[in-house]
Structure 1
Amino acid sequence: MGTIGTHAINGHLYRKLAFDPLKSFEPVAFLADAESVLVVGPAAPVNSVGEFIKLAKAKPGSVTYASAGSGSTGHLAGELFEDRAGVFLVHIPYRGNAPALNDVMAGQVAASFATLQTALPFIQGGRLKAVAVLGQKRSALLPQVPTLAESGLKNFEVRNWTGLLAPAGTPAPVVNQLQADISRFMLQPETQARLAKQALTYLDMKPKEFAGFIQRESDKWGQVIRAVGVTAD
């Protein structure tokens, strides 16, 4: 199994890894994308991306966002947002998603770029406000919440993805058969319904398509990490 962290981010965060994220594996199949969302506390004077950007520009360096830790997807999503929106936010790293969202709900931190799986119960309970989803399409679980692209930020997408990879050198017929079997299962209506309830999305990619996707993700997040200068060593 591989994730955005193991195969698109960590290779740029750590100087030395026990494996090469791109060369040590044969990509087999994309499995799931955990939808992400920009959230703020219930008392925040923000109800749209435009208002959030306006607030950040009015108070540069004073608007904060929480993440599960330095180098996490939530952290890097915030850095990407800063670049695309032309604002300066202050990153507050936590040890995990729960304490990060707790402080957003309490008003100690302004916002967070969180997975919808984690944030949805608090959004539904009125303890968080969803400002925008970070994917290309609106979420079926939050159909009233626009995407960042709809809100004016083009070329912005965050995928918290998971995929299946085999050791490098695995014969192509084996890789292709595995992908075909996975595709058949994942495209079943029952499977799709279960994924949707968990704010997960499946993309039906052939192995070569998945390999290209991983390369693009690595290039994208590597650029963000180099621009920020963050490391985990």
Structure 2
Amino acid sequence: MKTQQRGGTVIGLIIGMIVGLAAALAVAVYVTKVPVPFLSKGGKTADQDAAEAQRNKNWDPNAPLQGKNPAPPPPAAVTPSLPGSTAPTAPTPPAVAGGVTPPPAPVDPAKPPAKPETKADGRSSADPLGDLVKSRSAAAEKAEKAEKADAAFNYFVQAGAFRSQGDADAQRAKLAMLGWEARVSEREQNGITIFRVRVGPFTKRDDAEQLKQKLDGAGVESTLVRAAR
């Protein structure tokens, strides 16, 4: 009789332990699956914690004093470059109101190298200074030759040759009215006496040519005559 009571007690204890474990397991499952109101309201997720940490990192205590347009963040520090390490850059033109940038400043074009002096025959001269000296020497030689020729001759400007002395005198009077003093000279040619009206003599050919140009401009036909001294 006592043995049966002991066996029933042990079985009852085992059944009670099983029922207790089942109840504890059910409570644990219920707690993990069903959200608890006070834990949901007070708890924060990992994303929320990260966002709040970022806001705290960039928080500016003077933000309420700056109005709606906060001041821009300070520019990043630029490390100065050593001289000669980088090529110089052209300055950026300032921006014009309205968002339009003016065109860049014009750059002066490089001047082409000076070309050597070109002679009349189309060939370039390698010694322009020597050519200048030669040209001056040639001009001096030409002037010297002209002076030698002038030393051997006298020059006249003949304003006409007439068969009658009256016509020659009339031509001389016309020249006198224009301001030039002329002379009438006689010469027999082919048995005929010719009366020549001349202005001169001139020791230089250039002086005689200048007078001839003036007479031609005044409408008086003339010619240049050379006579040996």
With normalisation by structure 2, the TM-score equals: 0.20
Whichever of the two has the greater Rg, that structure is 2
Higher normalized strand content (fraction of residues): 1
Kindly indicate whether structure 1 or structure 2 has the higher relative contact order, using CA contacts under 8 Å at least 6 residues apart: 1
**Normalised by the size of structure 1, how large is the TM-score?**
0.20
More helix by share: 2
